[in-house]
Amino acid sequence: MNTKKPVYPYIPNSVPDVKAEMLRTVGALSIDELYADIPANLRFKGKLNMPDRLTSEAELIRHVDGLLNKNRSTRETLSFLGAGCTRTRITDASKLCSSTRA
């Protein structure tokens, strides 16, 4: 059984040498040392409810495309953002204010 943690070269802190250098730079001996000042009762205990990791770029693209496909444009659904293409009425008072000079 392989107990080595996977290394993802595109995530800098997963490469052991880079991780060690980052810790040296901030003056910490371990990741746990960075959290030492956080009281134990405030630390998250347990496991995050995260999906399984993606193992390929193609899998990542499918996942992101699936998320993006949930988006709806303002042409597909009612939107009250801005004034859209409707004509707006400019009152005489605003015309007067915009034409006065200081």
pLDDT tens figures, 60-101: 899 999 999 999 887 888 777 765 566 666 666 666 666 665
What pLDDT, on a 0 to 100 scale, did the predictor assign at position 27? 93
Model confidence at 102, pLDDT cuts 50, 70, 90, reads: low
In this structure, are residues 14 and 6 in contact, taking their beta carbons and an 8 Å threshold?
Answer: yes
Burial of residue 19, with CB atoms counted within 10 A of its CB: 0-12 exposed, 13-18 middle, 19 or more buried: middle
Distance between CA atoms of 22 and 12, rounded to whole angstroms? 9
Q: Which residues contact 81 (CB under 8 A, 6 or more apart)?
A: 74
Query: What's phi and psi for 71, nearest 5 deg?
Result: -65, 150
What sign for the dihedral angle of Cα 50, 14, 26, 31? positive
> Which amino acid is located at 65 in the chain?
D
Model confidence at 16, pLDDT cuts 50, 70, 90, reads: confident
pTM beyond cutoff 0.75: no
Residues 32-61 have pLDDT tens digits of 998 899 998 999 889 888 888 888 889 989
Distance between CA atoms of 100 and 96, rounded to whole angstroms? 6
Higher pLDDT, 52 or 1: 52
Q: Is pLDDT at 1 greater than 60 in this prediction?
A: no
Give the residue from 27, 32, 4 showing the smallest Cα distance to 16: 4
